[in-house]
Amino acid sequence: MSAVASNIPADFKEKKDTSDISVDVRSTDADSIKFVDESNVENRRQIGLTSAIFIIFNRIIGTGVFATPSSILGLSGSVGLSLFMWVIGAIIAAAGMQVYIVWGTAVPKNGGEKNYLEYLFRRPKFLITSVFAANGVLLAWAAGNSLVFGEYILRAANVTPGRWTLRLVGFACITFALLVHGSAVKWGLRLQNFLGVLKLIVLVFIIITGFVALGGHMKIEKPNNFTNAFEGTTASASSFCLSLYNVIWSYIGFSNVNYALSEVKDPKRTVRIAGPVAIAVVTVLYLLANIAYFAGASKEEITASGRLVAALLFRNVYGPRAERALSVLVALSALGNVLSVIFSQGRVNQELGREGILPFSKFWGSNRPFNAPLAGLTLHWVVCLIVIFALPPGDAYNFVINVISYPLSIINAVISFGIVWLAFRPNPDWPRQKFFALFASAFFGAANVFLFIVPLTRPPPGGEPYEALPYWTHAVAGWAVFGLGLIYWIVWAKILPRVFGYKLRRVEEVGADGLIRNVFRRVKQE
């Protein structure tokens, strides 16, 4: 596969800072991908440092800290190991943030991992883009938190979440996110920022409630979970891995601004500041929130609470009315995460469309009619609806977490070790990296190798991740997604050109919406 930056014009490469350079090339050699900065598009760079921090913050803090602690405790077996898992997750997230800072400053454009994989894998042509396209398009990132939004908002309304009521409220949640980000980008960002502030307030309130519980001011007997904190610890590697999946899911989002770097003001500086700030704040809030849960409820109550552990804490400390009020706030937190997720995934789909790798690429790559990637957002919306309405309700949330985390672990391992590889075999345009960045990359890569190997082993009795699905479902589904990308590449880039006697050539063109996109042309073989 040709690299994203492998054929940058000479005068473009000589610039020390490429963030303000624009290359307007209407057609290029078919077998290469031009690195094109989009700063010439009017009003394209709308995201400042504050919005970038909240794009990351909103993506990280969705419902994970409210919905996964019970699963993590059940898999860990003890309060002590459960808290330690959140520390491990923070360390892994910090290392991952460094990996994305390296890539974001080296390749500052929309698309995230797609660009980084293309930079590493130049041959066979178009293969890695096809494989990543399957991963980017077919995974329902926003589905899980749409369901959690439904669960909490129905609980606040004193309605039992039934099979169809939960799905319909989840449908309403993700449809609202689609309409906001697909028609009014600035207002969508403002709403995300507002909900980000609200999340901070909710978490701080939960933490304060934990201190109230520690003081013994509760409606129930004080649980004393910290007396023998490591009692009942599980020693299974499979349970440890599944627990770590849940923790890492709660930290996923540190890469979120990398999907929209073409729309960020001063992207290299912003990505260096926004990620570490968001990770540091989130880590402190997560640890204190989990301490609050353990201060206000017994291990048995937390394990049985499912995804409603935050509501359980408020019921035990303040009573049922406070539980309902918190449910509304947690639902709004879930909405903020859905807004953030669909914001980034819509742009991934748009970039894939602009590359010309998808069927009807011009449509998916468009920025019309509202100067927003409405078509790309709609594609992700459709995939999420399939997951929301097709999967068994009890397994849907955990399946979404695991089937997204599994292939993402593979991709993260590849781009992390890719940084180490480039330290020894750098491309001419690759910036020299410091030892800390290389160490963080190696550590993050190794952690992700663990995360995609262990799920293939059978979990111990009681450690199964699903109620109805086999334990290996998400691993097989993850590899199947990559396999579909491979099959698509074989048919589209190899078989069809040979059968019909043409060669794929990729040329750049400027669409009516002002965006430069790559389009594949069929050129007759001579």
Assess whether pLDDT exceeds 80 at residue 49.
Answer: yes
411-450 pLDDT, tens digit per residue, is 999 999 999 999 888 888 888 888 999 999 999 999 888 8
Confidence of residue 38 (pLDDT cuts 50, 70, 90): very low
Confidence of residue 24 (pLDDT cuts 50, 70, 90): very low
pLDDT at 487: 94
Higher pLDDT, 349 or 61: 349
Assess whether pLDDT exceeds 70 at residue 497.
Answer: yes
For 517, phi then psi, to 5°, come to -140, 155
pLDDT at 26: 36
Whether 334 maps to a domain, the answer reads yes
Number of domains into which the chain is organized: 1
Q: Which of 333, 64, 67 is nearest to 199 (CA)?
A: 333
Average pLDDT, integer, range 465-486: 85
Whether 239 maps to a domain, the answer reads yes
Average pLDDT, integer, range 507-516: 60
Whether 201 maps to a domain, the answer reads yes
Whether 459 maps to a domain, the answer reads no
Q: Which of 357, 302, 354 is nearest to 131 (CA)?
A: 357
Average pLDDT, integer, range 230-251: 77
Domain assignment of residue 239, given as a range: 48-392
Higher pLDDT, 348 or 393: 348
CA 202/CA 107 separation, integer angstroms? 36
Identify the residue whose tokens are 């799920």.
Answer: 455
Whether 489 maps to a domain, the answer reads no
Between the alpha carbon of residue 89 and those of residues 55, 202, 365, 410, 480, the distances in Å are 20, 21, 35, 17, 27
Q: What percent of the chain has pLDDT over 70?
A: 85
**Domain CATH for 280:** 1.20.1740.10
Whether 112 maps to a domain, the answer reads yes
Whether 478 maps to a domain, the answer reads no
pLDDT at 288: 92
Comparing 169-178, 221-230, 292-301, 445-454, which segment has the lowest mean pLDDT?
221-230
Asked whether 308 and 293 are in contact (CB, 8 A), the reply is: no
The model's pTM: 0.74
pLDDT at 444: 93
Q: For 251-334, where are the E strands, in sequence order? A: none
Whether 120 maps to a domain, the answer reads yes
Beta strand 502-510 with 516-524 is antiparallel
